[in-house]
């Protein structure tokens, strides 16, 4: 089988003879041709998609030395078909793959680390290196890599003899057997690779590092190159502009602006919290002391506020057991407190009757009910009555 993607990685269309076509998984067909421009998955680079004889090619994999095209419909064995790869998808892969080589090569040269993992995803590519780096070091590498792109040197593919290979210094993920394919990027990197690459470094376009995390004693760097990097810039530019308009702040003042907003919001939260404490104190003091079971509904309280209010009510002896709840029709949050009765047991009983969830300590339980207000009142009355009977009998 002739691999046209190695002869010319820029070949978008071709004709081929169908050597075999067999039913595969998921209702697809597995097609083998005498030659193909479809790159199968390999070396971290995803497979090509496209059209073959008028039917969709959904996946391409290499099996036992054959490139197997998974098609949507069967093709006639022995027939000649026209093929076309999804060029944008392939070129994105070429830009990103060549950019990754360049970046990994420079990183290897400066710090001696190896690329130990490579994944090309839809939104970003990730590269894992087996040593630690700082963000400043990564930014410096990014600038250097882009300088190499501007110089627009050639990216060469060679197939050295074993003698030549012995003298050659190159990066490789594994011990290689058979003919080794070497990709050399403008004197910045030499690496064994089976993927497709652009011809000139300038075609890589922008190389942009998106982030870095510590990973397995080294780092995982996410990046994008070429058109994908441009689209990412476009998205981020739109986001920045939208936030800038929302905050009425210049793009270079956004961080300060958000910090101020955050601080203002925290100060407001603190002031609101103080007002609620005073409100709860006033409401609690207005109630008579009581040994009854107390049910209180209050609008728009957060779980923290429900707990505070409930605690004040039972600690200041406004009820033996206190249930405070807040929310809207059939969607309630509650806090249940008492100094005398075990709240874990009681919340279990209420949850069972009121389609609820949650729990807590013997003093305080919190959770949610999914019931009507009437159902909550009824359940509370019944449980209160039953408990009083239990106590009288004991
Ligand atoms: Zn590669």
Per-residue pLDDT reduced to its tens digit, 122-140: 899 999 999 999 999 999 9
% of the chain surpassing 70 pLDDT: 98
> What's the 151 CA to ligand 1 centre distance in angstroms?
21
Q: Supply the pLDDT for residue 348.
A: 95
- Give the rounded distance of the alpha carbon of 117 from its chain centre: 18
List where CATH 3.10.310.40 sits in the chain.
Answer: 287-388
> What's the 187 CA to ligand 1 centre distance in angstroms?
16
How far is the CA of 165 from the CAs of 156, 157, 168, 175, 345, in angstroms? 15, 13, 5, 13, 75
Per-residue confidence at 107, pLDDT binned at 50, 70, 90?
very high
> In terms of CATH architecture, what is 2-85?
Beta Barrel (2.40)
> What's the 302 CA to ligand 1 centre distance in angstroms?
54
List where CATH 2.40.30.130 sits in the chain.
Answer: 2-85
Q: Supply the pLDDT for residue 388.
A: 77
> What's the 157 CA to ligand 1 centre distance in angstroms?
11
> In terms of CATH architecture, what is 287-388?
Roll (3.10)
Q: Averaged over 225-247, what is the pLDDT? A: 97
Q: Which of 315, 313, 282 is nearest to 295 (CA)?
A: 313
Per-residue confidence at 394, pLDDT binned at 50, 70, 90?
very low
Q: Supply the pLDDT for residue 135.
A: 97
268-326 pLDDT, tens digit each: 999 999 999 999 999 999 999 999 999 999 999 999 999 999 999 999 999 999 999 99
> What's the 63 CA to ligand 1 centre distance in angstroms?
19
Q: Which of 2, 10, 41, 3 is nearest to 198 (CA)?
A: 10
Cα(294)–Cα(286) distance, integer angstroms:
14
> What's the 319 CA to ligand 1 centre distance in angstroms?
72
CB 171 within 8 A of CB 105: yes
- Greater confidence (328 vs 205) lies with 205
% of the chain surpassing 90 pLDDT: 92
> What's the 195 CA to ligand 1 centre distance in angstroms?
5
> What's the 224 CA to ligand 1 centre distance in angstroms?
15
Contacts of 276 (CB under 8 A, 6+ apart): 305, 308
Which CATH number is associated with domain 91-234?
3.30.980.10
> What's the 200 CA to ligand 1 centre distance in angstroms?
15
> What's the 257 CA to ligand 1 centre distance in angstroms?
43
165-186 pLDDT, tens digit each: 999 999 986 666 788 999 999 9
Q: Scanning the structure block, which residue is given the tokens 């780096």?
A: 133
> What's the 90 CA to ligand 1 centre distance in angstroms?
14
2-29 pLDDT, tens digit each: 999 999 999 999 999 999 999 999 999 9
Q: Supply the pLDDT for residue 173.
A: 67
Q: Averaged over 363-371, what is the pLDDT? A: 96
List where CATH 3.30.980.10 sits in the chain.
Answer: 91-234
Per-residue confidence at 1, pLDDT binned at 50, 70, 90?
confident
> What's the 193 CA to ligand 1 centre distance in angstroms?
4
318-356 pLDDT, tens digit each: 999 999 999 987 899 999 999 998 999 999 999 999 999
Q: Scanning the structure block, which residue is given the tokens 């300590």?
A: 361
Average pLDDT, whole number, for the chain? 95
Q: Supply the pLDDT for residue 172.
A: 86
């Amino acid at each position: 089988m002739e691999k046209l993607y190695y002869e010319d990685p820029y070949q978008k269309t071709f004709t081929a003879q169908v050597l075999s076509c067999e039913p595969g998984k998921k209702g697809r067909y597995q097609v083998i041709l005498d030659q193909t421009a479809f790159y199968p998955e390999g070396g971290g680079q995803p497979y090509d998609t496209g059209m073959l004889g008028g039917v969709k090619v959904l996946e391409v994999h290499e099996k036992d030395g054959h490139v197997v095209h998974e098609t949507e419909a069967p093709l006639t064995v022995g027939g000649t078909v026209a093929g076309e790869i999804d060029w944008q998808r392939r070129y994105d892969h070429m830009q990103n793959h060549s950019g990754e080589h360049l970046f990994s090569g420079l990183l290897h040269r400066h710090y001696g680390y190896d690329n130990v993992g490579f994944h090309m995803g839809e939104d970003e590519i990730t590269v894992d290196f087996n040593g630690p780096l700082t963000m400043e070091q990564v930014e410096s590498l990014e600038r250097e890599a882009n300088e190499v792109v501007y110089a627009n040197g050639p990216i060469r593919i060679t197939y050295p003899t074993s003698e030549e290979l012995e003298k050659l210094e190159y990066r490789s993920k594994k011990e290689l057997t058979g003919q080794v394919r070497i990709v050399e990027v403008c004197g910045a990197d030499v690496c064994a690779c089976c993927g497709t690459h652009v011809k000139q470094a300038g075609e890589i376009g922008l190389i942009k590092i998106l982030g870095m995390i510590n990973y397995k004693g080294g780092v995982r760097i996410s990046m994008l190159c070429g058109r994908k990097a441009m689209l990412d810039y476009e998205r981020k530019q739109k986001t920045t502009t939208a936030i800038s308009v929302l905050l009425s702040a210049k793009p270079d003042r956004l961080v300060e602006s958000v910090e101020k907003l955050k601080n203002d919001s925290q100060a407001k939260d603190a002031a609101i919290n103080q007002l609620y404490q005073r409100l709860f104190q006033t409401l609690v003091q207005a109630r008579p002391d009581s040994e009854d079971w107390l049910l209180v509904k209050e609008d728009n309280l957060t779980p923290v506020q429900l707990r505070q209010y409930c605690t004040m009510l039972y600690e200041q002896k406004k009820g033996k057991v206190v249930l405070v709840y807040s929310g809207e029709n059939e969607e309630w949050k509650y806090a249940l407190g008492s100094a005398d009765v075990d709240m874990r047991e009681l919340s279990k009983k209420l949850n069972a009757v009121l389609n609820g969830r949650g729990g807590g300590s013997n003093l305080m339980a919190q959770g949610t009910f999914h019931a009507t207000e009437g159902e909550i009142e009824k359940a509370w009355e019944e449980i209160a009555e039953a408990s009083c009977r239990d106590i009288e009998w004991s």
